[in-house]
């Protein structure tokens, strides 16, 4: 999990400037990917980062065992906290991604 989480953090950091408070850009990011993580700083977690899969959990489960992760268009959105990630999920997330 650490590798994919490291990638998610790097993507979210790149997206931060692009988003610049524009929810329309966040929506485009989510719509344009197969797998989307929301990530935030969480010093109390194992890796120092909290995360929520906003889109693509079902698809991830389908292919993870087959080592076909490279087939997914992967992206991430920065959040300030778990509550913001949950709000993002509730607003535009894929409802089968509940975890």
Q: How far is CA 24 from the centre of its chain?
A: 16
Q: How far is CA 11 from the centre of its chain?
A: 9
Q: Looking at residue 70, what DSSP letter applies? A: G
Residues 3 and 46: beta-carbon distance below 8 Å: no
Residue with the two structure tokens 């979210």? 12
Per-residue pLDDT of the chain (99 residues; tens, 9 = 90+): 568 899 999 999 999 999 999 999 999 999 999 999 999 999 999 889 999 999 999 888 888 777 776 778 999 999 999 999 999 999 999 876 444
Query: Could you give the count of Cα atoms lying within 13 Å of 16 in the half-sphere of its Cβ?
Result: 11
Q: What pLDDT, on a 0 to 100 scale, did the predictor assign at position 19?
A: 96
Q: What pLDDT, on a 0 to 100 scale, did the predictor assign at position 1?
A: 59
pTM: 0.86
Q: What pLDDT, on a 0 to 100 scale, did the predictor assign at position 63?
A: 81
Domain parsing of the chain, residue ranges: 2-97
């Amino acid at each position: 999990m650490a590798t994919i989480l490291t990638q998610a953090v790097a993507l979210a950091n790149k997206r931060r400037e692009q988003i610049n408070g524009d929810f329309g850009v966040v929506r485009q990011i989510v719509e344009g990917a197969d797998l989307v993580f929301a990530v935030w700083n969480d010093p109390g977690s194992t890796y120092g980062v909290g995360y929520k899969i906003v889109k693509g959990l079902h698809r991830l489960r389908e292919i993870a065992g087959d080592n076909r992760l490279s087939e997914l268009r992967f992206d991430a959105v920065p959040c300030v906290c778990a509550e913001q990630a949950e709000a993002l999920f509730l607003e535009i997330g894929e409802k089968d991604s509940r975890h």
